[in-house]
Amino acid sequence: MSTGSKRRGAADDVVAWHAVECGSYGVDLELWRSLAEELGGPVLELGAGTGRVARALAESGHDVIAVEREGALAEELRERAERAGLPLSVLRADLRELQPEQLSAPPRLLIGPMHVLQELDRPGRAEVLAAALRLCRPGAVLAFALVDESYLSAPGGADAPLLPDLMEIEGRVFSSEPLWVQMSEETIRVSRLRQRVDPDGELTRSVHDDVLHRLLPAALEREAAELGLRPRERRLVSSGPTEADSIACLLEAP
């Protein structure tokens, strides 16, 4: 993986950690491809990162609009797409601030993989859903991956052994080891030990927390209904024995 010759330091690390912790996940790609085949394009991806999903869809021939608000990730995705000549446009933006004229065409499908919608509280989710209605064409489908809490609440589910994610990038070795999952009434907090070994042997360590707001499919469907969105269906994404499954909640715009 190249992190781009123009970026160094913190920006490089943002891209690297995203690759280490998200890049190898692929069990959801079949779902996004099947939806894109069914509904056509353009497909708008919310929180595209460095393009794990967006590039897979573009490589399958779909027109993709990738929205990513983190500058280093958006720039990395733009560089990768340009090198590969993919039908992929990258917007560094917050979806809530986008206007229809900034898009090449109104999307037929909007997707939010990797539990990106759960990074927001209820007011933030309402803003995203309202923006999606403003940007997408009538009858468009919005599909969001949510954590399947039945795995975490099952006996021993959240305590199952978790293996570290490892990757060597330009001579540096990155390791991200899940430490624990903590659930409160409102959030799911995943703590990771991040370790980086540079070519000279220097070791850097830090603990990183990812915090998601708890959100069951029925709750999202109720929130969406308040804005006029209709529940369409739910699809299970099975992640394997040591990771929580996801439930893709599909909503239809009026």
At 194, the amino acid letter reads R
Question: Domains plus CATH for the chain?
Answer: 10-147+216-252 (3.40.50.150), 152-212 (2.20.25.110)
Per-residue model confidence as pLDDT tens digits over 109-123: 999 999 999 999 999
Grouping H, G, I as helix, E, B as strand and the rest as coil, residue 97 is helix
For residues 162 and 224, which has the higher predicted lDDT (pLDDT)? Answer: 224
Is residue 157's pLDDT more than 60?
no
Residue 153 has a CB neighbour count (10 Å cut-off) of 10
Residue 217 burial by Cβ neighbours in a 10 Å radius (0-12, 13-18, 19+): middle
| Cα 176–Cα 24–Cα 32 angle in degrees, nearest 5 | 135
Maximum separation of any 2 CA atoms in the chain, in Å: 58
Per-residue model confidence as pLDDT tens digits over 205-238: 999 999 999 999 999 999 999 999 999 999 999 9
Inter-axis angle of helices 52-59 and 29-39, to 10 degrees?
50
How far apart CA 17 and CA 19 sit, in angstroms, is: 5
Residue 46: its H or E element:
strand 43-46
Residue with token string 């353009």: 42
Within its chain, how far is the Cα of 153 from the centroid? 23
